[in-house]
A = this chain, B = another copy of it.
Amino acid sequence: MFPFHPPVFDGFSHAQYNTFDPVFREGGFIVRFSKSLIPTLKEDPREAELVSHRLLLRAGFLRSHGSGVFQFLPLGWKVIQRIARIIREEMDRIGAQEVLLPSLTLRDVWEESGRWEDFGPDMFRLKDRKGRDLALAPTHEELITLLARQYFRSYRDLPQILYQIQTKFRDEPRPRGGVLRGREFLMKDSYSFDPDWEGLKHSYQLHDQAYRKIFDRAGLKYVVVSASSGLMGGSASEEYMVLSDAGEDTLVLCEQCGYAANQEVAEGTREETPLPDSPFASRERVATPNVRSVEEVAAFLNVPVTLIIKGLVYVTPRGLWMVLIRGNRDVSESKLQKLAGGVVRMATPEEVRERFGVPIGFVGPLGAPADVTVVADLSVQGIRGGVVGGMQEDTHWVGVTPGEDFAVEQYADLALVREGDRCVKCGAPLTFRSAIEIGHIFQLGTKYSEAMGAYFTDRDGQEKPIVMGSYGIGLARIMASAVELYADEHGIRWPQSIAPMDVHLVDLFPKSAPQEGERLYRELRERGLDVLWDERPVSPGVKFKDADLMGIPYRVVLGEKALQQGEVEIQNRWTGERTRVPRADTVPRLLDMLAQEPTDG
């Protein structure tokens, strides 16, 4: 007979193969530092600007492979796995079902929702060997809606929540900040399916509770803010934000009443700078050579920027729009999208030149093509004798007044809130803070189910679109946020729950008992603890420095002096506290400590 190997569940011995101390998963996990890929660096890597990026590289947790693409090394991957485990537990707890959808997706699916266009160059596209168009999925609303369309046909099938922990691909124009904005990244995305809006609100609330639990368990401090739905569409949307200078988002916060929103959608009571008198007696086209920015134009003409009316061109679902706004303000694309009823994007310089015949800096409402819609932010109201683009290269019109010299189709609040504006709720001045987005929840409503025909038959026999929600968490962002929040001058400090290992055993190979390290790690392993055993033949200084850098909360130090007194030292990376404990009590004492969070706050 053939040499079949029938199932055998025992009798397998490793002893004969074991030269480098294999890990026994029955108990905890042991990592021997010397035989592991933990390439700590003495110097700051040149490529890294942010604290989290720098420390995660230095501590040997990850390496980059080209722009915005990362390799998780063993310790970095352990952090991600612990985060994933917390996420799975909390998603399972709200009754969500885990699936795995593919990254290779067919063009047709994206055409159905209109996002083959909308994503533009942010979506990686490729062709297969037969020339068929594929996209690497940046998110999965489309694919999941297809499943819903096929299988959620009756109210009896609803509600349901599906989730996955899966790799997403987005060709970010400016990947930066280490894992904070990658082009290939792990995301937990989930999707809820309800028969009505009340159901959606419930699923949304379940997610909110799960997300808070996840971030709490990961030891993060965060705020929840109103946010823009952006390319997702839909109505309500909130973000979970960790305040940090490393963040790319700007939050608008009211310290008095607790109002909190992403600047993209924040509301504020406008504190407009009083308008100065215009020095221009009449309308005139003047030469403005070699000036580009609003500030340069103002300086050249010797007027305050508040007299300048910027004209910005957007491609909207309702055609080309020119958006006018006062020189000291910026346009909120989210507010513009609401007004335009869909996704907008700034026109490229080429598009502007083609339609307006001038470079982008000289666009203005006087002499603009008739089919361009002119809308204006409220800040433009009241400007008299202002300045607009000349619609000829190197010129501006001065002394113009909206409503007299040119028509505005609609005035609306289209500006980003800015420093000096006040809280709409309580009138206190607003605070601006940078933040990292770690989670985002969306009430999509029926956007996808209507576009893609995902209807169910309700109790009353009526066909209705499924009401959907979409929810995301960036796993590596949780990792990076923890580093940004808690690192000190010596390195990382991990919350225990997402630390790469439970214990860092700094073995100084005490002369009186050089084998003590091995004995101790065996005891720790038996209690199910994961141990990083630093048994490298390097100086104590190097070991302590690396331990500080890597930031495992508790470490056990095996040194000659203490051991002669029958003791070992337990060090708390968060507080710096050092505790001598009798050797015999090491494990129970450590377990006591591990039962509490090691934070110092």
Residues of A in contact with B (beta carbons under 8 Å apart): 1-9, 12, 14, 17, 19-25, 29, 31, 34-37, 39, 63, 65-66, 69-74, 77-78, 80-81, 88-89, 92-95, 97-106, 121, 124-126, 128-129, 136, 143, 147, 150-151, 156-160, 162, 167, 169, 171, 173, 183-184, 202, 205-206, 209, 212-213, 215-217, 219-224, 243, 253, 255, 258, 260, 495, 537, 597, 599
Contact = CB atoms under 8 A, between A and B. Distances in A.
B128 A70 contact: no
Contacts of A78: 98
A323 to B, nearest CB: 25
Contacts of A1: 255, 258
29 contacts: A2-B223, A2-B253, A2-B258, A2-B260, A3-B223, A5-B224, A7-B495, A7-B597, A12-B213, A20-B95, A23-B92, A29-B92, A35-B157, A35-B158, A36-B97, A36-B160, A39-B150, A63-B147, A65-B101, A65-B102, A65-B106, A72-B101, A73-B99, A77-B98, A102-B184, A124-B128, A125-B126, A128-B171, A136-B136
B17 A94 contact: yes
Nearest to A89: B25
Given A106-B66, A124-B126, A128-B171, A209 B14 contact: yes
A489 B495 CA distance: 53
A121 B127 CA distance: 11
Given A17-B94, A95-B21, A3 B66 contact: no
Given A100-B80, A224-B5, A37 B151 contact: yes
Nearest to A495: B7
Given A77-B98, A100-B71, A209 B17 contact: yes
A37 B101 CA distance: 13
Contacts of A6: 216, 221
Contacts of A222: 4-5
A142 to B, nearest CB: 10
A160 B99 contact: no
A162 B35 CA distance: 11
A584 to B, nearest CB: 29
A217 B25 CA distance: 15
Nearest to A140: B71
A209 to B, nearest CB: 6
A191 to B, nearest CB: 11
A103 B184 contact: yes
A169 to B, nearest CB: 7
Contact of A103 (B35, B167, B215, B537): B167
Contact of A19 (B103, B121, B143, B202): B202
A38 B12 CA distance: 38
B93 A25 contact: yes
Contacts of A7: 216-217, 219-221, 495, 597, 599
A25 to B, nearest CB: 5
